[in-house]
A and B are shown apart, each in its own frame.
Chain A
Amino acid sequence: MKAQSELRQQPLRPKAPVKIKHYFTVAIVLLLLWGSAVQTEATFGELIQGLPNMLDLLKEMFPPKWSYLDNIWAAMLETIRMALLGTTLGAILAIPVALLSAANIAKRKWIYYPVRFLLNLVRTVPDLLLAALFVAIFGLGALPGIFALAIFSLGLIAKLSYEALETIDPGPLEAMTAAGAHPIQIINYGVVPQIRPHFISFVLYTFEINVRAAAVLGLVGAGGIGHYYEVTLGFLEYDKTCIIIIVTLAVVLLIDYISSKLREKLI
Chain B
Amino acid sequence: MTKSWNEMVPKPKKNRYRLLIYFALIIVYVWAFAGIPYSGIKETAGQVSRSILAGLFSPDWGYVYLPDGEDLLRGLLDTLAISILGTFISTIICIPFAFWSAANMSRGKLISGSGKMLLSLIRTFPEIVMAILFIKAVGPGSFAGVLALGLHSVGMLGKLYADEIENIDNGPLEALMAVGASRLQILWFAVIPQVLPGFLSYMLYRFEINLRSATILGIIGAGGIGTPLIFALSTRNWDRVGIILLGIIVMITVIDLISGTIRKRLV
Determine if A40 and B88 form an interchain contact, defined as CB atoms under 8 angstroms apart: no
B252 within 8 A of A: yes
Q: CB distance B85 to A84 under 8 Å? A: no
Does B124 contact A252, Cβ atoms closer than 8 Å? yes
B229 to chain A minimum Cβ distance, whole angstroms, is 7
Please, which residues of chain B bring their CB within 8 A of the CB of A51?
137
Chain A 192-206 interface residues, beta-carbon cutoff 8 Å to B: none
The residue in chain B whose Cβ has the minimal distance to the Cβ of A211 is B124
Q: A141, B248: Cβ atoms under 8 Å?
A: no
For residue A32, CB closer than 8 A to chain B, the reply is yes
Give the A-B pair count, Cβ closer than 8 A.
152
Residues of A within 8 Å of B42, CB to CB, are 137-139
Query: Known interface pairs A40-B85, A47-B138. Does A146 touch B36 (Cβ–Cβ under 8 Å)?
Result: yes
Query: Known: A40-B142, A137-B48, A142-B37. Is A129-B229 also a contact (CB below 8 A)?
Result: yes
**Do A137 and B36 contact each other (CB < 8 Å), given the known contacts A46-B138, A249-B125?**
no
Within 8 A of B (CB), among A159-218: 212, 215-216
- Asked if B165 is at the interface of the complex by the 8 Å CB criterion, the answer is no
Closest to A257 in B: B120
Closest to A84 in B: B32
Query: Which residues in B have their C-beta under 8 angstroms from that of A256?
Result: 120, 124
Also in contact, A129 and B216, with CB within 8 A (given A33-B85, A143-B36): yes
Residues of A within 8 A of B139 (CB): 50
- Give the dominant DSSP class at A's interface: helix
Stretch of B60-68, B105-113, B128-136, B175-183 at the chain-chain interface? B128-136
| B residues less than 8 Å from A88 (CB atoms) | 29
Nearest B residue to A212, CB-CB: B126
- B35, B77, B226, B253: the one within 8 Å of A120 (CB): B253
- When distances are taken between beta carbons in the complex, the residues of chain B under 8 Å from A35 are 81
B102 at the interface (CB under 8 A from A): no
Cβ contacts A to B, 23 pairs, < 8 Å: A36-B81, A40-B82, A40-B85, A43-B143, A47-B137, A50-B139, A53-B137, A57-B133, A81-B35, A125-B245, A129-B245, A132-B219, A132-B233, A136-B48, A136-B233, A137-B48, A139-B45, A141-B39, A142-B37, A212-B126, A219-B219, A226-B128, A249-B124
Within 8 A of B (CB), among A56-80: 57, 77-78, 80
For the complex, give the distance between the alpha carbons of A146 and B36 in Å. 10
Q: How far is the CB of B142 from chain A (nearest CB, A)?
A: 4
- Residues from chain A with a CB closer than 8 A to the CB of B249 are 121, 124-125
Which residue from chain A places its CB closest to the CB of B28 in the assembled complex? A84
CB pair A132 B229 closer than 8 Å = yes
B36 and A245: CB pair below 8 A?
no
A10 contacts which chain B residues (CB < 8 A)? none
Interface residues of A in 229-267 (CB under 8 A from B): 229, 233, 245, 248-249, 252-253, 256
Q: Would you call B223 an interface residue if the criterion is a C-beta within 8 Å of the partner chain's C-beta atoms?
A: yes
Q: How far does the alpha carbon of A85 sit from the alpha carbon of B31 in the complex, in Å?
A: 11
- With A36-B85, A47-B147, A138-B42 as contacts: A220 and B32 at CB distance below 8 Å: no
State in angstroms the CA–CA spacing of A32 and B85 once bound together.
9
A186 → chain B, closest Cβ, in Å?
A: 19
Given contacts A33-B84, A137-B49, A141-B37, contact A219 B137 (CB under 8 A): no
Q: Which of A36, A54, A77 contacts B137 (CB 8 A)?
A: A54
Q: Is B115 an interface residue (CB 8 A)?
A: no
Within 8 A of B (CB), among A114-162: 120-121, 124-126, 128-129, 132-133, 136-139, 141-143, 146
